[in-house]
Structure 1
Amino acid sequence: MSTGSAERSWCVVVPHHATGARLARHRLADELADVVPPALLADLVAVLAELVGNAVRHADPLPGGVVRVAWRLRPLAGGQSVQLRVTDGGSASGPSMRPSAPDSIDGRGLHIVAGLADRWGVERDGLGQSVWAEFDPVGSPRPDLVVAG
């Protein structure tokens, strides 16, 4: 695992289709496998899968039928923070956590994101919306959940 101190970022586009989530997960895992601890990488992959899956299921694509996926590593005391960001064409109703029964087959995605990430939120602009999730360095105290809207 690398302990480099430079900020690093990536941005890729994936199809606005179920295969887009798989492609995004594999690309993230390939890029960060030697950079972040395995437990954090597992959380990052799970959250990215939820965010891309939600974009495909609930939002319109960006022009070209794609979803933009980005991640950024920033050096901080105690390790590197990671931000994931998924940008899509938006939807009539923005992302929101909803109640789900134990036997429901869906409705848990943002609960998973909130449980694994230190912070998450939504930003909208003229092109669509971005849902982001941030992870503090391993071992950092977790602040309260912040959801921007």
Structure 2
Amino acid sequence: MSGGTDRVRILPCPDFQGRTALLLTDGNGPVSRLADRMEAVQLGLGDRLLGRARETLKEQPSEDGELHLLTDQLADALSDALLIAESRGLRLREAGPCPVHETPPALRAYGMLTLPGRNLASARTARHYVRDTCRSWRLPAGTTDDLVAITGELVANALEHAESPTVVIACALTPGTATVGVTDDGRSGGTPVASPSAGGSEAECEGGRGLLITDALATRWGTRRSGEGLTVWAEVAIEATS
């Protein structure tokens, strides 16, 4: 910042996947990153240090040749560093928009419920929650039934295999689709697959069959890790009503 004028830097790509970032403000004044303000202070200190180094060079006696040369080199290095930093800031400010190949669908509604991860009754509670949520969104009966069945399978798998203290059920509504996700703390360490392994245990076969049901009912499904947590999600197309 200089002359009392705030500089606002616009970063072209707020997300590594190209998704739009959501920024909420009170509407007063410009928006800037804290890193920009810190960088401005650092550049100002560096500029003053460079000036002081050059003044010291003028005051050094001519017989101190080695010290004079070393200080001269340090001053030149500092000058180069300041030039690079200022050039970096200019490039960021002048960067164009980041190309986004696919616009994410608009989120129309969202719901979330946290349940005990070591209580088998959580599966039934989760099914009731998803059914009530779908009804509040006025989804068709077929779509609702599919989401409820998927929720039951995913929560049952989490209760059986994850040993997580909590299980989080999330529902999302976008144009044309509804999605349910079940998140545990990821202690099982594995990635669910939609096929029971040959010769596997009864529990593993049950888990595999549950994901086969999910695979059959969902338009698409998948897994996502965030930190130590594991989310299994499934998306269902909303049936057209006549």
TM-score with structure 1 setting the length? 0.77
In structure 1, the residue matched to 2:158 is 55
- d(CA) in 1 for partners of 2:236, 2:134: 14
Moved more, 90-99 or 118-127: 90-99
Residue 98 (structure 1) shift: 2.3
Moved more, 12-21 or 28-37: 28-37
- d(CA) in 2 for partners of 1:137, 1:26: 19
- d(CA) in 2 for partners of 1:94, 1:85: 15
Residue 47 (structure 1) shift: 0.1
Residue 51 (structure 1) shift: 0.6
Residue 12 (structure 1) shift: 0.6
Residue 32 (structure 1) shift: 1.3
1:81 matched to 2:177? The reply is yes
Q: Map residues 1-149 of structure 1 onto 2, 5 A cutoff.
A: 7-16=108-117, 17-34=119-136, 35-61=138-164, 65-75=165-175, 80-90=176-186, 91-99=188-196, 106=206, 107-138=208-239
- d(CA) in 2 for partners of 1:94, 1:40: 26
Whichever of the two has the greater Rg, that structure is 2
Unaligned residue ranges in structure 1 (runs of 5+): 140-149
2:211 counterpart SS class: helix
RMSD: 2.1
Aligned letter for 1:136?
A
- The structure, 1 or 2, with the larger RCO (C-alpha pairs under 8 Å, 6+ apart) is 1
- State percent identity of aligned pairs: 39
Residue 6 (structure 1) shift: 7.0
Structure having the higher strand fraction is 1
Structure having the higher helix fraction is 2
Paired positions, count? 126
Q: Does the C-alpha gap of structure 1 residues 138 and 68 become closer, same or farther in structure 2, counting only changes over 3 Å?
A: same
Q: Does the C-alpha gap of structure 1 residues 38 and 12 become closer, same or farther in structure 2, counting only changes over 3 Å?
A: same
- d(CA) in 2 for partners of 1:98, 1:32: 28
- d(CA) in 1 for partners of 2:147, 2:238: 12
In structure 1, the residue matched to 2:54 is none
Tell me the alpha carbon deviations over residues 61-111 of structure 1, each in whole angstroms, 9 at most, x when there is no partner. 1xxx21010000112xxxx3101110001112221122379xx77231000
Q: Do 2:169 and 2:181's aligned partners in 1 also have CA atoms closer than 8 Å?
A: yes
